[in-house]
Every structure is written in structure tokens, then in C-alpha cells.
Amino acid sequence: MPLVTSTEMFKKAYDGGYAIGAFNINNMEIVQGITDAAAELKSPLILQASAGARKYANSVYLVKLLEGALAVHPELPIVLHLDHGADFAVCKDCVDNGFTSVMIDYSGHPFEENIAESKRVAEYAHEHGVVVEAELGTLAGIEDDVKVAHGMASYTDPDQVEEFVKRTGVDSLAIAIGTSHGAFKFKPEQCTRNEQGILCPPPLRFDILEEVARRLPGFPIVLHGASSVPQEYVKIINEHGGALKDAVGVPEDQLRQAARGPVCKINIDSDLRLGLTAGVRKHFDEHPEHFDPRQYLTDGRQNIKDIVMHKIKDVLGSDNKI
């Protein structure tokens, strides 16, 4: 099957009460870990590349890696998505080079400018059979070139969503309801601590999500910054020479709840980074004599596959949907 757009996927996900995982890709092992997991569980898939990924791997390699994955798993419907396109030029470049979905993130600009740039991208993309995600509201945290201080984040204003979607013509909308980019999503003072001393973050704003859904019935909503930062991998990293203090993510039961509702796409990046790093760190610690990348990357890739299988089954609910 060639790369597809997310139109059909989102429609089924919305009606079926589940979400599609959008996993960030940066190299071959990550692509393999994710696609092997999705194939085993018969789950549709969005693979997304950020500006940082395109800089690191070169877009040509990323597109070709996906072609490889499709050849190995021809039954898998896969979307290749641009994560956080900074402007029209970046989005156009991806539309012209084989991506089937792009995100224009002008959320840091004033409302009217966000509308104008998102509309421009939507018109160009649609002419080429590509779908578009835009964003309203601002997430805190750090993701590659997107950096927003905790105090500068703002929730999506439900009063703006209908006008925004109508005037831009975009196909899905990322909203800010309290998720955050990176592995340190919340400052310790925003959280409480449980008996084990692990941080428990403030709950997502489901009231905003519900209000957005009421104003945009049937319209696919996207959650960014939705890694859960699994503490078992943080622990492995810290036990094998790492120093990740107070890493914290979004609890998976809240993501499951969002997936049952209007959220059709959930972005997961940090969890894969943690899994790969945990596998490599543990391997080096236990086998200091090893220097063959195939040995330690095998462990990292296996962790990615395990994490993605868990997400598909227990968080997204997208297994057996192809």
C-alpha cells in the first residue's frame, strides 16, 4: 500500500472511540520498532518528522525509510506527517517531497496571522492531495526548535475554534489542554508527589476538550506533548549512568479518555527516546566490552517496539483496526 492521508483513519477513529498514534521518526531503528509493533497489532499509523528530524536524517532518507517499511509491511496504512512546520515554505517543501500530511504551527503568532498562514498551507496542500493540521493555543515545553516557557503557555480558547477551522479549511486541529512537550512536562511545584516520591501532574482540561468538540462536531482533534514518560524506563536510565531528575509525563488513563472522545491523533516522541536510551545505556553497562552498534541498537529498538505495542493496545485503542 502506498502512503495514505489521515482522512479515512480519523473518520474511523472518531466514530470508533480510539486514536491513531503519531510517532516521531529519526532513524532506521525507530522506524522498524514502530512499524513492527503496528504490523503485529494491525494498527494504522502516523509517522511524523520534525524539523530536527529532517535536519538530522535528511528528508530524503526519511521518505526512503518509509518506503522500506511499506515494502516490508504492505498491509499497513501509514501517513507520513510533518510535525511543527514553521511556515508555508517548510510545508510546501514536504508536500512537494512525498509527505501525505503536514502541520503548520503558527500558534505562536497572532490569531489573524495564524489563520492566514494556515489557510495558505491548506490551499496548497489540498491542491496536491495532502491534508493539514494546524494549532490553536500554545503548549509549554521543548520539542526541537519549538520552545515555550511554562509561564508562556496558553490553553486553547474554544470561542476561536469554529472561526479558525472555517476560515482556514484545515483538516485537523491541535489544541492546548495542559499537555506539554518533552520529558519534563511539568515543574515539580505544579505537581503533587505520590508515596514513591514520583511526581503526579495536574489533570488535563477535559472541560476545554468537551467545549471544543461541542463546537466542532465530528472534527478530528490532535494532542501534542502526550508522552507519558514511563517511570520504568526513567529508572533504567538513571540506574545505568543517566541523570533524569523529575522527568514526568501525562498519565496514560487521561490519554485513553481523550482517545475515546474527539481526539483522533496522539503524538508520542519522548517515550520512544527514553526507551531507546534505556536499552542502549543498560546494554553498555552490562556489556562494557561491546562496540558493535547492532548489539546495543537491537536492545533500543526492542524497547521502542514494546512501548508502541503498549500504546496501541492500552492507550490508543487502535489495535485490529486495519
Q: Which residue is nearest to Zn ion (CB)?
A: 224
Q: Candidates 37-45, 62-70, 224-232, 273-281: pick the segment binding Zn ion (CB under 5 A).
A: 224-232
Judged by beta carbon, residue 137 or residue 242, the one nearer Zn ion is 137
Judged by beta carbon, residue 54 or residue 224, the one nearer Zn ion is 224
Residues of the chain by 3-state class (helix, strand, coil), percent to 5:
50, 20, 35
Q: Residue 317 region, left (φ>0) first, then alpha (ψ -120 to 50), else beta?
A: left
- Furthest C-alpha separation in the chain: 60
Spatial separation of the C-alpha atoms in residues 195 and 294, rounded to whole Å: 39
Least distance CB 247 / Zn ion (angstroms)? 17
Least distance CB 239 / Zn ion (angstroms)? 29
Judged by beta carbon, residue 173 or residue 297, the one nearer Zn ion is 173
Q: Give the pairing type, strands 140-143 and 180-181.
A: parallel
DSSP of 183-245 = SB-S-GGGSEE-TTS-EEPPPP-HHHHHHHHHHSTT--EEE-S-----HHHHHHHHHTT---T
Q: Candidates 125-133, 194-202, 217-225, 309-317: pick the segment binding Zn ion (CB under 5 A).
A: 217-225
Least distance CB 181 / Zn ion (angstroms)? 6
- Count the site residues for Zn ion by CB under 5 A: 1
Residue 144 annotated as catalytic: no
CB neighbour class for 246 (10 Å; exposed up to 12, middle 13-18, buried from 19): middle
Q: Is 305 in the site for Zn ion (CB under 5 A)?
A: no
Least distance CB 47 / Zn ion (angstroms)? 14
Out of 83, 105, 144, 319, pick the active-site residue. 83
Which DSSP letter does residue 314 get?
Answer: I
Q: Is 224 in the site for Zn ion (CB under 5 A)?
A: yes
Q: Which residue matches cell numbers 561491546?
A: 290
Spatial separation of the C-alpha atoms in residues 100 and 129, rounded to whole Å: 7
Q: Candidates 12-20, 93-101, 122-130, 218-226: pick the segment binding Zn ion (CB under 5 A).
A: 218-226
Least distance CB 224 / Zn ion (angstroms)? 3
Interface residues with Zn ion (CB under 5 A) are 224
List the catalytic residues: 83
